[in-house]
Amino acid sequence: HIGEVGDFLGQNVFVVGGFVRDLLLRQENFDIDVVVEGDGIGFAEEFGRRHGCRVRAHRKFATAVLVFPDGFKIDVASARTEYYLEPGALPTVETASIKLDLYRRDFTINTLAIAMNRAHFGELLDYFGGQSDLREKAIRVLHNLSFVEDPTRMFRAIRFEQRLAFQLGRHTEHLLKSAVRMGFLEKVSGPRVFNEMLLILREPDPLPAIARLDELGLLAYIHPRMSCRSEINRLLAAAKRTVDWYELLYTGEGCQRWQVFFLCLFSGLDESEVNQVLRHLGMPPRYAEFFGPERETVHRIVHQLEWRCSQRRNLSNSEVYRMLRELPIEALLYGMARTEHEEARRLMSHFVTHLRSVVSLIGGRDLQSMGLKPGPCYGEILNKLVAARLDGLVSTREDELRLVRR
Ligand code: CTP
């Protein structure tokens, strides 16, 4: 269908980038990027009319997003239409523009394109040796200034290298190291670096990539003392096991794995160093709150729990619940990974698997119908009911009603 619309409008249309790379690697990828030689927005509008898609156009970038009725999306971009082989020359034939568009990309493995127009349907365009680098499992830039033009590509290089189990080409690694040495990352805004870190920490197993970032001096850019050696490495491995364990539980509540890993990376830094990083990366306020004050809260609570466990007194379910209930799941998982106290870890995992989701069977409406005036006492009563349930003092609704009456 993409090709048909292109033929109708007299435009050459291609599927490009990550989708083609992953197709050749036989890896799943549902992010389809289309490049149109000509007006990409016009293409998207015509396609949308024919196939009932909504079109979100970004005129400034000459790009559009096609949104299908089921929510599926396709990104459409316009390749630059004019391409001068030499100053003052006439623009070359249109096919040169897809080539130029591909030349602006980060790595050779991302420069592959597949033609969609009927006359050339399915033809693979490989101008920069992308297929051969896929075969050699190599991440290579297209030209020497690639990391200088866009230093965030250093993070992307590591992400692809580790995700695909490829290796940086020798020359590319050399270019990356000199870009780090020459401090090109300083020119990149903190939020862009944060975004790249986020993408890395969201990979299924970010640990090898983190180690590689450290080795190449990229973690030190975030903070000179940020590293994943020795005990941080142990912590990260424990965090990975813990989040994997949690996801296997299928509690119905997701967890932001990247936050757990970021907490681990922060754990070698003190409070003021963490604040420096948060400012530097320009973290949105809700994350700044989580990694700042809330991190301190987790440390305090885990410490208290360890101390109480070491007193060798059995903690009741409701006591454990009261200590841990304020913590978001990411903080709990980090706490579990962090503690070296067997019993504290057991209690935290018991809280996650059994206690955390306990609620009372009666609610505000029941209290109202019992003639209680709504107010803060509702919260208190319901909390007491939860505590009673956690400690096995009530089991049915009747038990709870009876307890309230008392
Ligand atoms: N790109 C680039 N430089 C960047 C970011 C992106 O050259 N700093 C190019 C890449 O060639 C990439 C394309 O823009 O193919 C689209 O970017 P993105 O969607 O981030 O890349 P994917 O390859 O699709 O990555 P992923 O598999 O993680 O979605």
ipTM of the modeled complex:
0.94
Alpha-carbon distance of 239 to 333, in angstroms, equals: 7
The percentage of residues in the chain with a pLDDT greater than 70, rounded to a whole number, is 96
Q: What is the mean pLDDT of residues 326-340?
A: 95
CA of 192 relative to ligand 1 center, distance in Å = 14
For residue 338 and ligand 1, the question of a CB distance below 6 A is answered with: no
> Using one digit for the tens of pLDDT, what is the confidence trace for 347-389?
999 999 999 999 999 888 888 888 888 888 888 899 999 999 9
**Tens digits of residue pLDDT in 258-283:** 999 999 999 989 999 999 999 999 99
**Across the chain, what does the average pLDDT equal?**
92
Q: Is the pLDDT of residue 217 over 90?
A: yes
Dist. CA 42–CA 48, nearest whole Å? 10
Rounded mean pLDDT, 221-242: 92
> Averaged over 203-216, what is the pLDDT?
95
Distance 70 CA to ligand 1 centre (A): 24
Is residue 196 lining ligand 1, measured as CB closer than 6 Å? Answer: no
Which residue puts its alpha carbon closest to atom 26 of ligand 1? 18
In this structure, what token pair is assigned to residue 358?
A: 């306990």
Ligand 1 contact via 110 beta carbon (within 6 Å): yes
Cα dist. 253→111, 242, 248, 249, 256 in Å? 38, 15, 12, 10, 10
91-118 average pLDDT score: 84
**How large is the average pLDDT for residues 157-175?**
97
* pTM greater than 0.90: no
Ligand 1 center to 23 CA (angstroms): 15
pLDDT computed for residue 228 by the predictor: 84
Q: How confident is the model at residue 404 (pLDDT cuts 50, 70, 90)?
A: confident
Residue to probe by mutation, ligand 1, list 65, 155, 156, 166, most atoms within 8 Å of CB: 156
Q: 203 CB less than 6 Å from ligand 1? A: no
pLDDT in tens, 52-69: 999 999 988 889 999 999
Does residue 97 contact residue 79 with C-beta atoms inside 8 Å?
yes
Rounded-to-integer distance, Cα 319 and Cα 329, Å: 18
Q: Whose CA is nearest to atom 18 of ligand 1?
A: 18
- pLDDT in the model for residue 93: 42
Cα separation of the two ends of the chain? 71
